[in-house]
Amino acid sequence: MNFNEAERRSYKSFLIFILFCLIFSFIFMITNSSKYRVMNINYDNSLSLNFESFETLKYKSIWFINESDFEEFYSSNLVVERLLISKQFPNTLEIEISTHEKILHFTDFRSTLPKVKTLYKNLLISEKIESDLLPSLQITNGPIPDGFYSDLISLILTLKKYEVNLEELKLTYNGESLIANYIDTEINIGSTFDLSRKGTVIGYILEQGNCKGSVTILDTKDEDIEALFTCE
């Protein structure tokens, strides 16, 4: 049986159409198959987070799960920095949760009912839930200056570069000065301005650990930071 050129092109087009139909049908069957619907979601449920939104993912096609499906989880858990989602076919999601770094616990005694709260690296403030050990801060008077919490974050992150046990660091803000107590050393840091740069001096002093007494950081406009020592 002989085919002319037009018939061959038509036959070839028909075969291509059939192939695409078969591929589309196969994909449709796979993506809508009950076998490939989310049945198991594995994550660290020991974290103090709201996991209710995870339940809405169950029975959805695992093929179509993406980052947008977790918007509700992010909005319900502001301490969460990111999720690492992996699909274990045919029906399991593995979710690794990373939270923003905790900086310190603090209590504001200016309020009628002082509560211990936690300051996070992203400036989020929440009521303390876990009993983890962090630097502590007491606010005894105010007002607090603009950028106060940002400056505190800079201070703690700078001190983390030194061999200092930050669990032993106790800070007090009295409305004018920030005072740091660390084992046998008390440091009057002064204003909370430029705490990152002051932190390099404070970190060095605390790391050396050879001053049992008091240190006063002088607030100057000079590039070099000066300190007065009264040590045993």
Q: Quick one: pLDDT at residue 23? A: 61
- 134 in the same domain as 192: yes
- 221 in the same domain as 144: yes
- 167 in the same domain as 92: no
Lookup result for tokens 């607030």: 219
Task: Give the up-direction half-sphere exposure of residue 218: CA atoms within 13 A in the CB hemisphere.
Answer: 10
Highest mean pLDDT among 6-20, 72-86, 125-139, 209-223: 72-86
- 151 in the same domain as 115: yes
- pLDDT tens digits, one per residue of 143-198: 999 999 999 999 999 999 999 999 999 999 999 999 999 999 999 999 998 999 99
Distances (CA, A) of 126 to 20, 153, 161: 54, 15, 26
- 211 in the same domain as 168: yes
- 201 in the same domain as 110: yes
Q: Quick one: pLDDT at residue 29? A: 56
Asked if residue 34 has pLDDT above 80, the reply is no
User: Is 57 exposed, middle or buried (CB count within 10 Å of its CB: 0-12, 13-18, 19+)?
Assistant: middle
pTM, rounded to two decimals: 0.81
Q: What is the CATH number of the domain that holds 59?
A: 3.10.20
Asked if residue 210 has pLDDT above 80, the reply is yes
Least confident of 34-43, 56-65, 214-223: 214-223
Domain ranges, residue 93: 36-99
Total domains in the fold of the chain: 3
CA–CA separation, 31 and 53 (whole Å)? 22
Asked if residue 208 has pLDDT above 60, the reply is yes
